Amino acid sequence: METKTEALPAPPTVRAAPPQPRNRRRPWRLVALLVILLAIIGAALYYWFFMRPYESTDDAFIDADVVQIAPQVPGHVATLLVRDNQGVKQGELLLEIDPRDYDAGLAQAQASLLAAQTRLEQARAQVNADQAKVEQAQANRTAAQTEAERAQADLKRYQSIPKPAVSRTQFDLATAQARSNDAAVEAARSAIAAAQAQVTLSQAAIQTAAADVERNKAAVREAEIELSYTKVAAPIDGFVTHRTVQAGDYVQTGQALLALVPSNPWVIANFKETQLTQMHPGQPVTVHVDAYPNHAFHAHVDSIQRGSGARFSLLPPENATGNYVKVVQRVPVKILFDDPPDPNLPLGPGISVEPKVRVLDEPRK
C-alpha cells in the first residue's frame, strides 16, 4: 500500500514595514510661529516707541481771534474797498459811509461853540464893567465921606460959637447940610454893595458861559468822532471773510458787515481727561491737517483749560438729579504753531486737524 505524503504549506513571507514618511509640515509651522513671534515683537516695539509716548485725538480744529467788523454810525455805504478773501493790513480802509450828514453836524457844533465863546467874552466884559461901577461907587463914597466930615466940622464950629453970634438960620442950614452929607455917605455905601452884587452875578454868568463853551467843545469832539466813524478801517492784519455788505446798502450801528481772520491761528484739541496725565505746556506737537495730508506742522502745547468743555457749554450737564452715567469728559487744549504761517497752506477757523502730543520726552515737573 502506497503512502502519500501531503506537502505542508510554506510559511507566509513576513514583509518589512515601510519607513514612515517625515512630517513635512513641521518647518512651515516653525516659520509661521517665527513670523507671528516677530510680528508680536514688532508690534510691541512699535507701540513702545511710536504710540506710548504720544497722545492724539481727531476731535481738534483750527481756531483764531476772528474780528467782526461793524459800523459805529448808521448810513449808506458810499464806497466798498475790499472783496471776499482779500488780505488787508491794519489801518487799511475797508469801506466808507456817506459823510454828508456828519459833516453838517460837525459844522453846526462848531457854530454853536463859536456862539458860546462869544457869550463867554461878553460875560467877561460885563464883569469888567461892573467892577468899574464898584470903583466909581467907592469913589463917590469917598467924596461923600469928605463932604460929610466937612459938614460935621462946620456944625461943631457953629455949636461952639455963642448964639448971639450965629443966626438960627445959619445953624439950621449947617445941621441940615450935615445930615444930608451923612445920608449921601449911606447911599454911596449902598451903591457899592449893589455894584459888588452885580459883579458876583456877572462872575456866575462867566462860569455858566464857560460851562456852555466846554459843552459845545464836547459836542464838536463828538461830531468829529462820528465823522471819523464813517471811514471803517481794519483793526488788525487779516483776510476778509463772510462779507455781507454791498456798496449802497444802508447799515445800522453794530450791524455785522464782514469778518477779519488773522494769519496766526492755533489749534483747539479736545483730549479725553484720561489723556492729560502726562500732558503739560511746552511739549512738542505734530499737527496733521486734513486739508494737507502730505504736510506735518510743528507746534507745542500752550495751555490746558481749567475745566471740561461741557462745563462751559450753553446748557451744562446737571448730574445732581436722575440716574448718573459716568462719561469720559473732554478738555480743550490750546496748541500754538512753531513755524510762521505759510501763505501756500492757508489755515482757517473750523478746519479739522489731528494733533499728536509727545508726552514722555521728559518727566513732568
Least confident of 68-72, 205-209, 252-256, 267-271: 205-209
Residue 353's Cβ-count burial label (10 Å; 0-12, 13-18, 19+) is: buried
Percent of the chain with pLDDT over 90: 49
As given in the structure block, the three cell numbers for residue 185 are 455917605
User: Above 80 in pLDDT, residue 73?
Assistant: yes
- How many other CB atoms are there within 10 angstroms of residue 232's CB atom? 24
User: Above 60 in pLDDT, residue 245?
Assistant: yes
- Mean pLDDT (the chain) is 82
pLDDT: which is higher, 188 or 353: 353
- Structural domains of the chain in order of their starting residue, each with its CATH number: 67-98+240-259 (2.40.50.100), 100-228 (1.10.287), 264-358 (2.40.30.170)
Mean pLDDT of 105-120: 93
User: Above 90 in pLDDT, residue 333?
Assistant: yes
Q: What was the pLDDT predicted at 10?
A: 56
pLDDT: which is higher, 162 or 225: 225
pTM for this entry: 0.67
Least confident of 70-74, 199-203, 243-247: 199-203
List, for residues 90-105, the tens digit of each pLDDT value.
999 999 999 999 999 9
76, 98 contact by CB (below 8 A): yes
Cα angle 244, 248, 254 (rounded to 5 degrees) comes to 50
**Cα-to-chain-centroid distance, residue 235:** 11
DSSP string, 98-150: --HHHHHHHHHHHHHHHHHHHHHHHHHHHHHHHHHHHHHHHHHHHHHHHHHHH
User: Above 80 in pLDDT, residue 201?
Assistant: no
Q: What was the pLDDT predicted at 9?
A: 58
